[in-house]
Amino acid sequence: MSEFENTNLPFLEQDCIETFGKEQGKKVFDKTIEIYRELTGKADYRNNQAIRYHMTVKLFPAMSYYKALQAFGIDDAIEKVRIETQKAALINKQNNAKFARMPFVFTMYRMGVKKHMAKNFPPEGWKTEWVRCDGKEIHFNLRSCLYHDICVEKGCPELCRVYCENDNIAFSGLMPKIRFERVGTIGEGAECCDFHFINAKK
């Protein structure tokens, strides 16, 4: 079993073979695994399980693939990574769509969002600024972000926007009851990542 089976890119090995052919695809994937092991082995998880989860399951898999593609001199590396991460985001979109079918979904979302953020996006990785959390809108800003920090630290700040883009895909599954909007992200050069979940029924 590949280490990627328990990440958000469990399909990557097969996709590498389909994209590059059996022999070259295996080389690309093997290089990805090599880099993934190096990244996870040296990572500072900040003594926090949520940080470990983000790094090992979501952040490092795509980063490892990106660095492997670069090592093989593939020009459109970031586009190939985007294809894979968007597949993962579509799975999250489907899960959000199931949740959105429940009655009073915005109320449930609003009641649980602060606890969810504290547990899954802890201050060890994110600086969260709450702006509004009422019956019409949930609005918070991330003033710092683990994904951006690690991308910069590992020398690939341009990769961060790929992670940012997936929010738009995943949260679109909440429609038509909850509408997700944002102005910008740190990875795209903005001062913060703004998150707006708007009660579309109001």
CA distance 173 to 36: 30
CB atoms within 10 A of CB 190: 14
pLDDT of residue 173: 97
Give the chain's domain count. Answer: 1
CA distance 168 to 43: 28
pLDDT of residue 93: 97
Residue type, 181: E
pLDDT of residue 157: 98
- H helices of the chain, in order, are 12-20, 22-42, 49-53, 60-71, 77-100, 105-120, 146-153, 160-171
- In a structure prediction context, what are the per-residue pLDDT tens digits for the chain, which is 202 residues long? 578 999 999 999 999 999 999 999 999 999 999 999 999 999 999 999 999 999 999 999 999 999 999 999 999 999 999 999 999 999 999 999 999 999 999 999 999 999 999 999 999 999 999 999 999 999 999 999 999 999 999 999 999 999 999 999 999 999 999 999 999 999 999 999 999 999 997 6
Residue 118 domain boundaries: 3-199
Residue type, 35: I
Of 9, 151, 31, residue with least CA distance to 85: 9
- Give the predicted TM-score (pTM) of the model: 0.95
pLDDT of residue 196: 98
Residue 168 sits in a domain whose CATH number is 3.30.1380
